[in-house]
Amino acid sequence: MADLLWYQYALIGLIFAWSGFVRTSLGFGGAVLALPFLLLVHDDPLVFLPIIAIHLLIFSSWIAWQGNRQLKADTTTAQSNIDWRYLKKALKIMIVPKLVGVVGLLTLPASLMTNIIFVIVIVYAVSYVLNKPFTSQHRYVDIALLGLGGYVSGTSLIGAPLIVAVFAAHVAKEQLRDTMFVLWFILVVIKMASFIVAGVDLQLVHQLWLFPCALVGHLMGERAHQYLMKADTVLFFRVLGAVLIAVSVIGLAFSALSA
């Protein structure tokens, strides 16, 4: 990024602040809602993906630690802020597709795969906005969606909408964000290992000035998350659905522009 102009650096900083806000307020979407905009500034995903990955590792650890500390201070509840049972179940489904995605064993063109995923997510999201959440009568549907989400998470970092659409149907809203952050941490560790093995530049210099930008977004996102937690369940899922639709539309639009 050494040859960028000053306003391009400013735009990148603002986009990373936006990424931090989305990631912390909802527990997902930091990469998929930021990456299309970042690539419009500088068309090289391998420049931004390591930065996003490291930020996610830092903030997911921070949020999980905060949640654990709050639980210890609150003696009125014994409920964990993480749904370990469903997390372990989902990881068993996702780990193999994740590894396949990491090593790049693609069965379909990446652009086609991404468009299919975004269309599926829109179907899920519309049901939440209309307060008629999709509930599968067959667990094989969820298995297929989690597997596909794990695969895309391996090839990139935009598998979150599909994965969240399934988790939201099985995890209590009070536990959803922190549960997702633990899942992201595990998946991103695998992704970072692939970057290191492949010799990808981790952009450590740019990490230094972009971290404060993401931190500002993170702090604002905490306030938004507290508001969402106080809202009723219908509003929560409508917001979740609206964001999923926005993510998918942005993804489809960016894919069309790149074609």
Q: Tens of pLDDT along 1-51? A: 667 788 889 999 999 999 998 888 877 777 777 877 887 788 777 788 889
The pLDDT of residue 146 is 92
Alpha helices by DSSP H, 27-138: 35-41, 45-73, 84-102, 110-129
* Separation of alpha carbons 128 and 66, rounded Å: 29
* Averaged pLDDT of the chain: 80
What is the pTM assigned to this prediction?
0.73
Asked if 207 and 53 touch (Cβ cutoff 8 Å), the reply is: no
